[in-house]
Amino acid sequence: MAGASDDHSTAKLWALLGGIASLLSILTWLGASNAAELKDLLADSPPSGSGSAPYTPPTVHNPDNPDTSEGSTDESGPEPDESDPEPSTPIPDPTEEAFKAISAGDCLTVYDTGRRGTTSIDWSVDVPPDPVSCAGEQALVRVTATDTACPTGYGKSYWSYQSATTGNTTKLCLTRIYHATYCMLGQQSGDSISLGTMTSVACRREPVPAPYNQIMHITGVYRAPAGANANNCRRVAGDQTRYWAWLVDDGATLLCTMIYQGG
């Protein structure tokens, strides 16, 4: 009987040792070094069934856009800056538009006033007027071309405008149209007279802009014969009038003038 009792005591001893080993393992896993620390640890743990802190999902970064998380629903992009100025609309230039509205073949009531002398032209208006009939007496210049190199010569010039708004330059090439009985400006030196071929002036005796000093009256506009000169300007046999003659339109037209003698 003594042997059976010893065996039973031995079994209880091994069971006790096994329990102690299990307890040490639990203490190690929980980070407690003794039973007292285990008691404190269990006291700090929330009771079973109590509420826990709300769950916050982890942020997962989008590799295509490092600043946008996977859970973001904002796809509208950055808010527009309402302080940004609206795109500006170019202000139209009425003068440029008026120049561009003129085409080759148009005729205008435009002339040189002579106020800038013989070296440059002072056009009678700043903006091209509406075209008029080329067959009418109001037509003083014909537009032969636009926006190109303009020919030069007697009765030929150009009118250009550079827009301060667009920076573009529009050019009109002009040829003078002459009418009998009209008057022009001349610069006389001795027996020689230089004619302002693009000028026009009222036919009356009044001061004229320097360096011009004469008003020339157009007595006739003819198809130029071969070898044309002032003698071809005589209107009747025995006419003793002093004429000054010019070949214009590349020599195709004979322009006859005399110094205006009217009041």
Report the pLDDT value the prediction gives residue 21, as an integer from 0 to 100: 59
Paired residues of 246 in beta bridges: 255
Nearest Cα residue to 144 out of 132, 154, 159, 130:
159
Reported as a single tens digit per residue, the pLDDT across 9-61 is: 665 656 666 666 565 565 555 555 555 555 555 555 544 444 444 444 444 44
| Burial class of residue 32 (count of CB atoms within 10 Å of its CB; 0-12, 13-18, 19+) | middle
What is the DSSP secondary structure assignment for residue 153, as one 8-state letter?
B
Report the pLDDT value the prediction gives residue 142, as an integer from 0 to 100: 98
Paired residues of 215 in beta bridges: 185
Report the DSSP pairing between strands 169-176 and 192-195. unpaired
Query: Cβ(197)–Cβ(252) under 8 Å?
Result: no
d(CA 90, CA 6): 113
Paired residues of 231 in beta bridges: none
Nearest Cα residue to 200 out of 130, 76, 258, 113:
113
| Cβ neighbour number for residue 98 with a 10 Å cutoff | 17
Report the pLDDT value the prediction gives residue 251, as an integer from 0 to 100: 94
205 pLDDT higher than 50: yes
Report the pLDDT value the prediction gives residue 50, as an integer from 0 to 100: 40
Report the pLDDT value the prediction gives residue 24, as an integer from 0 to 100: 58
Mean pLDDT of 100-129: 96
Paired residues of 256 in beta bridges: 220, 245
Kindly indicate the confidence band of residue 113, based on its pLDDT and cuts at 50, 70 and 90. very high
State the chain's mean pLDDT as an integer.
Answer: 81
198 pLDDT higher than 80: yes
63 pLDDT higher than 60: no
Reported as a single tens digit per residue, the pLDDT across 130-161 is: 999 999 999 999 999 999 999 988 999 999 99
Kindly indicate the confidence band of residue 262, based on its pLDDT and cuts at 50, 70 and 90. confident
Q: Which residues, 6+ apart, have CB-to-CB distance to 50 below 8 Å?
A: none
d(CA 263, CA 246): 25
